Structure 1
Amino acid sequence: MKVLLYRSWCGWEGEPDKFEYTFPAKDTMYMLKGKVKVYIHGHEEPIELGAGDFAEFPKGLHVTWQTVETAKKYYRHT
């Protein structure tokens, strides 16, 4: 069984924006509110995430991150 300790996680909140990003470590995230689109370079369709979604991205993944609606998430790099 895996237990997630939220006190060791960081918070992020962002207004609508679009930018490139490379994950410096494995990123585990939980969306609290809002909506984002994650365009993985080399793939046509974005991944859409919203409130209640949980996702993991591998270290070194290069994406274009688009915050569609003001978003808030908890994340942890490992």
Structure 2
Amino acid sequence: MAADSNLRIIVERNPSKSKLQELGINSWPKWGCSPGKYQLRFDAEETCYVQKGKVKVYPKGSPESEYVEFGAGRPCNHPQRTYCTWDVLIAVDKVLQI
């Protein structure tokens, strides 16, 4: 798996409860999807927090060996103009801020 920073998608590891409160994730809108592959386009920067599930993200044009994998308990950031495939391995529930 390639390093997260090479793919421009930033996944935070083990955020503290105070960090999550500081972000205000409890007030963010919710989004979810079932397992499958989804072509996504992020026209604006998005920060999300996965509440449950697991996903592999493949940036458009990258080889299959280059992806970012994350799941429940991980905040992540998709920069503006990110085009990618979300391969949802376990149904995802997330909250997001645009």
* 2:85 maps to 1:48: no
* 2:91 maps to 1:70: yes
1:32 is displaced (CA, Å) by 0.6
Equivalent position amino acid for 2:36 in 1: D
* 2:43 maps to 1:20: no
More helix by share: 2
In the alignment, what sits opposite 1:36?
55
Size of the aligned set, in residue pairs, is 75
* 2:88 maps to 1:58: no
More strand by share: 1
**Structure 1 unmatched runs, 5+:** none
Q: What TM-score, normalized to structure 2?
A: 0.70
Q: What TM-score, normalized to structure 1?
A: 0.85
* 2:33 maps to 1:10: no
**Structure 2 unmatched runs, 5+:** 1-18
1:69 is displaced (CA, Å) by 0.5
